[in-house]
Amino acid sequence: MEYVSLYPHLYGYSMNKHIITEISPLSEKDCLFIVERYKTEFTYPLHNHKEYELNFVENGAGVRRIVGDSVEEIGDYDLVLLCGDNLEHVWEQGSCQSKQIREITIQFSPDLFSNNFIDKKQFTSIRKMLDRAQKGLSFPLHAVMKVYSTIDSLLKGEPGFYQFVKFLTILYELSICDDARTLSSSSFARSKTVSDSRRVQKVEEYINLHYTEEIRLSQLAELTDMTSVSFSRFFKLRTGKSLSDYIIDIRLGHATRQLVDSTKTVAEICYECGFNNLSNFNRIFKKKKGCSPKEFREIYYKKKIFV
């Protein structure tokens, strides 16, 4: 494990699709790379990397956090786990006035846990958490406070076996938190949804293939050999979302991805992603994302570096 107290502009980077791809100092022989920074502002640009990352921010009320197509203002404490394959993210200054911001970033390799290791029953909750964190995973304050002292202790003493055991403890404690929130939509993060139910998997696969088309409740109920009423109840119980909300979120994820990666007009993206009314698309987008499609594109574009 390696400890660094400097700002990560010392990291290497390369250009990939106009976004900085960070090259982490994490070596093949290291379990973890840990960096602690004290700062008065966030200036590092929108970026991605292949390494998994646990990022902690203290005294950052008002900072704007972007993870995939999630744009949120954080409070005094923020803890996010990122396990997406090159999921774009950044913490930017926003309305934060604090001059005593503290940030701790822990990076670890996706292959740190081999399949044989992570598949052991003792790691079930950690494995499920890492799967969910493909879209970014935000932890509530009570979970942050539970692991705060352990995160802090990682920075003390010599790196070695016991520090890694502490890190495993942090992952486990976070994995048993019931109310951690996923951030980015699966369609934006290009992550596969994971469900224990074969019926739900079948429906999700169908929606992902046909989100540009009109999707009827009766069609999906037929796929699962259920009545429409029973299927609606079943789907919400299993996913935590109504069918209409789920379909909207999938379409919005594809729309936000196109806003970032293409130069198509908002109207073109609206209709290509399955929405049949531009004003309705704008209204839903603002309600779900907190900004208009045009504003969302501007947020991303101003954080990109073009070559």
Q: Is 292 helix (H, G, I), strand (E, B) or coil?
A: coil
Phi/psi region, residue 159 (left: phi>0; alpha: psi -120 to 50; beta: rest), is beta
Residues with Cβ within 8 Å of 276's Cβ and at least 6 positions away in sequence, in order, are none
| CATH level 3 topology of 190-301 | Arc Repressor Mutant, subunit A (1.10.10)
Q: Which helix (H) or strand (E) holds 285?
A: helix 278-289
Question: Which pLDDT score, from 0 to 100, does residue 188 have?
Answer: 85
What are 247-264's pLDDT values in tens digits? Answer: 999 999 999 999 988 999
29 confidence band (pLDDT: 50, 70, 90): confident
Q: Is 159 helix (H, G, I), strand (E, B) or coil?
A: coil
- Position 7 pLDDT exceeds 70: no
CA-CA distances (angstroms) from residue 126 to 19, 141, 150? Answer: 30, 19, 17
Q: Are 37 and 103 in contact (CB under 8 A)?
A: yes
**CA 264 and chain centroid, separation:** 25
Triad 88, 184, 165: Cα angle to 5°: 75
- Position 28 pLDDT exceeds 90: no
Q: Is 105 helix (H, G, I), strand (E, B) or coil?
A: strand
Report the pLDDT averaged over residues 46-72: 93
User: SS3 sequence, 206-220?
Assistant: HHHHHCCCCCCHHHH
CA nearest to 252, candidates 274, 267, 268: 274
121: which DSSP letter? G
Q: Are 219 and 230 in contact (CB under 8 A)?
A: no
N residues, the chain: 307
- Position 291 pLDDT exceeds 60: yes
Cα(17)–Cα(29) distance, rounded to whole angstroms? 29
Q: What is the pTM (predicted TM-score) of this model?
A: 0.79
Residue spans of the domains in the chain: they are 2-184, 190-301
Report the pLDDT averaged over residues 287-300: 89
Question: Which pLDDT score, from 0 to 100, does residue 2 have?
Answer: 40
- Position 107 pLDDT exceeds 50: yes
Question: Which pLDDT score, from 0 to 100, does residue 121 have?
Answer: 83
Residues with Cβ within 8 Å of 268's Cβ and at least 6 positions away in sequence, in order, are none
239 confidence band (pLDDT: 50, 70, 90): confident
Question: Which pLDDT score, from 0 to 100, does residue 86 have?
Answer: 75
CA-CA distances (angstroms) from residue 6 to 10, 71, 76, 103, 105? Answer: 8, 27, 22, 11, 12
Q: How far apart are the first and last CA of the chain?
A: 34
The CB density around residue 279, as the number of other CB atoms within 10 Å, is 9
**Domain 2-184 maps to which CATH number in 2.60.120.10, 1.10.10.410, 3.40.190.10, 3.90.1300.10?**
2.60.120.10
193 confidence band (pLDDT: 50, 70, 90): low
